[in-house]
Chains A and B, each alone.
Chain A
């Protein structure tokens, strides 16, 4: 072999990992991140399962069995949070998937100022949630807010977006969708752009229009992106706290509480055991909802 061939062979041998399953780096590289994750996430999760069964005032914990969980599901001001969480999670997740896909299809077509529009759609994702919450609280004020004043100009009396107990959670869901749809669109754009154009050319030959293109090519082939968006938005929606707290603090009364804000209120009141029980319930809820969906969607995609 010539020198050049020898050195090339040496280079490729160095680049190729010795054992494909082991990987190129030793497992010790996981240690620092693993320690932090274990101490700050795993350990409190496990310990909270214990404290959820106690009455805790930070210095002593008295074991009381399932009382905290019973309280959570029987007291109306607490179990309303449970229902609101499910509504909020489902609504925001579905809307983000649908709107995100729609926007992604529009933004990957040949429309004018595509780059600028993509930036505008994505910008709310980057803004602080607290800032968005405070701003929309002011905008949605039933008397002085811009939204209702604008509606009044065209003759409609706007409702109390955040003060009507039946409307509050939906108003907050709308703001959450506005804020998060950019991320969904971004993921979908990546998915759509990755579809090879051969499919579209072949379809054009067969005489397809925009709708059949979308339904038969785009939609099935962005399935991995759909799975990602569904899972991420569902988890985020179920755990949502910042927007609800800044916009209504769970009010009026308890009408727009979600489990996360209920947990915070119990913690603020000094009921540490009850608050931890709420956290356990949230953990179980998210796992029970998201894990089967994740497994179902992924299994189907493997078959594909």
Chain B
């Protein structure tokens, strides 16, 4: 039945609804919904945390690449285990990522054509990572490369550096 005829709505309720007060019923409803909403949001947050792993068993992203003398000048060496090209030019060393910047396929060094090619969608790069052609949006990134205390090359794949930076040995 309509609110006007409902004998269970008190005079106080009616005046509250008519003015800018709020009835006890509506107030409690709102409080309950609010509490459920907070509980719901909290559940979502906690579930997201649950699904997001805290410990990952993935291979280390820092590795040693051996003595610099292993690499002749003007060479591009593909380290397959690390998916990195160690490039040695007269000016110094670069560590270029072998993962295509388009969609993550592993590129290949083609010495006869003096370029790096991606098999998935045909992107081509020069030895220093600059793009020649193809759908890749960016050149191949350079990783931080340095010398350890005992004279070995150290590459950190989590640190990207500018292509102009070179390791002089």
Indicate whether A and B interact. Answer: no
User: What residues make up the interface of A, taking CB atoms closer than 8 Å to B?
Assistant: none
